Amino acid sequence: MDTSVKNLIVEKIKSSKIGQVDFDNLPFGDVFTDHMMVCDYKNGSWGTPKIIPYQPLTLDPSARVFHYGQAVFEGMKAYKDDKGQAWLFRPDENFRRINKSCVRLAIPEFPEEYFFDSLKTLLRLDVEWIKPGEGNTLYVRPFVIATQPGVIAAPSEEYKFMIICSPAKSYYGGEVRVKIAEKFSRAADGGFGFAKAAGNYAGQFYPTKLAKEEGFQQIVWTDSSTHEYIEEAGTMNVFVRIGDKLLTCPTSDRILDGVTRKSVIALARDQGIEVEIRPIKVAELLDATKNNTLKEMFGSGTAAVINPIQGFGYKGDKYELPKVENSYASRFKKQLTDIQYNRSEDKYGWRYKI
């Protein structure tokens, strides 16, 4: 298949709605920019990508996505530095991962040149929606859905690849306490927990609802076989600091290969921090709590970057983590955001100029 973008079609909005937006009070993911990208897969190939005004879709009620859940997505952020230049953070990782997710759900992979040409064109058109200043970002959501009509239980032969964008401020606020799951699991061996599939997230809502009713903000998932090992924190990868050692779970069929996760690991190792990537037992956390060696827990992900965990609940008991000066969580968040906002050197080549 020819993967060159011969004709990227652009249809600009007649009048921007940006003046109607209160950028100081933005609920996460509720407001969207003027344009979006759409590209259709039919007759065995991807068509011409189009940048068009943001608008609703018209889909047949029997479209496969509604019945068999063929849908995957990604999440990344665009940042604007103090000079007005806009940047992405490691979008090559997001591109690789969405295609990895596509393969697992029998969706055709999207061509790399289509992805990056469309992404840059879209963000340049809506660049005024990317506001400078700490915490201000543009959340970018590429996704694919199965659009072929018909309720036969088989992979679709038609798809729609889209990119939409939403201006955002900090994702989380306040202190976060989590419940360690005793019964529910996010994913199982041989499944598709490693993919950013829509169904993975739908399955989290009910257990998270129950945890919130108990006063927690999120769940730390445990493995499906024994519920003895922690896996992810809500929709984030989880890190644990015991003493001065940083622990995180290995990626697998069940655990997402997070872009922020691998960035934290690289930063930590470069600073001489011992990092262990291995299974972490709940019992190990409890023992570390008792002997005062559990210093920190935090989640990492695109939306929150780094989210410190102040305490956790397990089997009816609640545990508080100590207040740590110069915490790993605050250090890594500053280092990552300094790279993202172009405030520091990027020796890793993670910044991507729009």
Contacts of 30 (CB under 8 A, 6+ apart): 166
- Strands, E assignment, 190-244: 218-222, 229-233, 236-242
Residue 239 has pLDDT above 90, yes or no: yes
Q: Please name the helix (run of DSSP H) or strand (run of DSSP E) that holds residue 51, with its range, or none.
A: strand 50-53
Identity (one letter) of the amino acid at 266?
A: A
Contacts of 182 (CB under 8 A, 6+ apart): 222, 227, 314, 315
Q: Which CATH architecture has domain 177-340?
A: Alpha-Beta Barrel (3.20)
| Beta-bridge partners for 319 | 312
Residue 173 has pLDDT above 90, yes or no: no
- Cα–Cα distance for residue pair 306/267, rounded to 1 Å: 13
pLDDT band at 174 (very low <50, low <70, confident <90, very high): low
pLDDT at 170: 75
pLDDT band at 171 (very low <50, low <70, confident <90, very high): low
- Cα–Cα distance for residue pair 187/41, rounded to 1 Å: 29
Residue 7 has pLDDT above 80, yes or no: no
CA 211, 215, 218, 222 dihedral sign is negative
Tell me the per-residue pLDDT of 185-220, one tens digit each, with 9 for 90 and over: 888 889 888 999 999 999 999 999 999 999 999 999
Torsion angle of the four alpha carbons 109, 114, 120, 124, in this order, in degrees rounded to the nearest 10: -120
CATH 3.40.50.300 assigned to 9-168: no
pLDDT band at 6 (very low <50, low <70, confident <90, very high): low
Q: Please name the helix (run of DSSP H) or strand (run of DSSP E) that holds residue 115, with its range, or none.
A: helix 112-125
pLDDT at 1: 34
CA distances from 198 to 38, 233, 302, 311 (A): 18, 17, 17, 29
What residue ranges of the chain are covered by domains with CATH 3.30.470.10?
Answer: 9-168
Q: Decide: helix, strand or coil at residue 19.
A: helix
Q: Tokens at residue 51, please? A: 């940048």
Q: What is the mean pLDDT of residues 300-320?
A: 94
Identity (one letter) of the amino acid at 253?
A: D
Q: Tokens at residue 334, please? A: 């500053």
Mean pLDDT is lowest, of 36-40, 80-84, 233-237, 321-325, for 233-237
- Cα–Cα distance for residue pair 8/326, rounded to 1 Å: 48
Residue ranges of the alpha helices (H) in 203-250?
A: 205-213
293-326 CB burial, b ≥16 within 10 A, e <16: ebbbbbbbbbbbbbbbbbebbbeeeebebeeeee
What residue ranges of the chain are covered by domains with CATH 3.20.10.10?
Answer: 177-340
Q: What are phi and psi of 42, to 5 degrees?
A: -145, 150
How many Cβ atoms are within 10 Å of 54's Cβ, its own excluded?
Answer: 14
Q: What is the mean pLDDT of residues 325-343?
A: 96
Predicted model pTM:
0.94
- Cα–Cα distance for residue pair 196/95, rounded to 1 Å: 12
CA distances from 279 to 115, 164, 175, 284 (A): 35, 36, 26, 10
- Cα–Cα distance for residue pair 256/135, rounded to 1 Å: 24
Tell me the per-residue pLDDT of 126-143, one tens digit each, with 9 for 90 and over: 999 999 999 999 999 999
63-102 CB burial, b ≥16 within 10 A, e <16: bbbbebbbbbbbbbbbbbeeeeebbbbbbebbbebbbebb
